[in-house]
Amino acid sequence: MRARLGSSLAANDSAALATALETTARLVPDPSWTSWATFARTGANAARRGDMAGARAACKGCHDAYRAEYREKHRLRPVPPG
């Protein structure tokens, strides 16, 4: 996650960020996490518009919603770098 999402955000590369977020959207780790793909796709759409602040908001939204639980349940399954 840091490798793809973090670096494209740092590089201000909105096209790479949009692609990485689309990949994230397909990697729902738990079928009950219904807003996962929505966060990722909202971020991808924002990135495509060049709206990096909007993309960043999607990062935060998903992290606030799922990061802690992900660490508890899927510690051994890191998000693949896409």
If the CB atoms of residues 1 and 51 are measured against ligand HEC, the closer one turns out to be 1
Q: Which residues contact 4 (CB under 8 A, 6 or more apart)?
A: 16, 20, 23, 81, 82
Q: List contacts with ligand HEC (CB under 6 A).
A: 1-2, 5-6, 9, 17, 24, 36, 39-40, 43, 55, 58-59, 62-63, 66-67, 70-71, 78-79
Distance in Å, CB of 50 to ligand HEC, minimum: 14
Task: Report the nearest approach of ligand HEC to the CB of residue 70 (Å).
Answer: 4
Cβ neighbours for 42, distance < 8 A, ≥ 6 positions apart: 54, 58, 61
Residue for token digits 């770098």?
A: 81
